[in-house]
Amino acid sequence: MAEHRIKVEELKEKAPMLHAGDRVLLSGTVYTARDAAHKRITALLDAGEELPFPLAGACIYYAGPTPAEPGAVIGSCGPTTSGRMDRFAPRLLDLGLAAMIGKGQRNADVVSAIKRNGAVYLCAVGGAGALAAQSVQKCEEIAFKDLGCESIKRMTVLDFPLIVAIDSEGNDLFKR
């Protein structure tokens, strides 16, 4: 297994070089969105309204960061179970989403959409939210403030440690 240092904006271009099981140190802009935010994103799409961030080339992290302690950028920022977003993911991938970060397996429809769009699914270590938070350089709430920790946040990450769980060819680390 290889290790790659990748910027978010390079994900689509470099996806073919990533293989299930590879390690990735990801840097750049990542958006947090969990269940409630995905429902609202879908409602905006259905209504033909503008989204809070551009999907083309974006990376969504399935996380609901806790509030930052004084002097910190962010609180704990661990991944949530990705399967809860499976009903939303194919549509977002078809609209240009480059990558998703979470934990756990994905369903066949998501794997098919990953392959169809040359995207990747990356896993962060579950139960290590404090570790993930160390990679966050900046965090700004950008949408759905009423959702609290589940609001959408734009984070700048530096060398966020991840594993390629499903690569752009559909190879699935969970099926090995």
Which residues have a catalytic role annotated? 38
For residue 153, which amino acid is it? K
Q: Is 166 helix (H, G, I), strand (E, B) or coil?
A: strand
In order, the DSSP letters of 18-76 are --TT-EEEEEEEEEE--HHHHHHHHHHHHTTPPPSS--TT-EEE-B-PPPPPTT-S-S-
Report whether 102 contacts 85 (CB < 8 A): yes
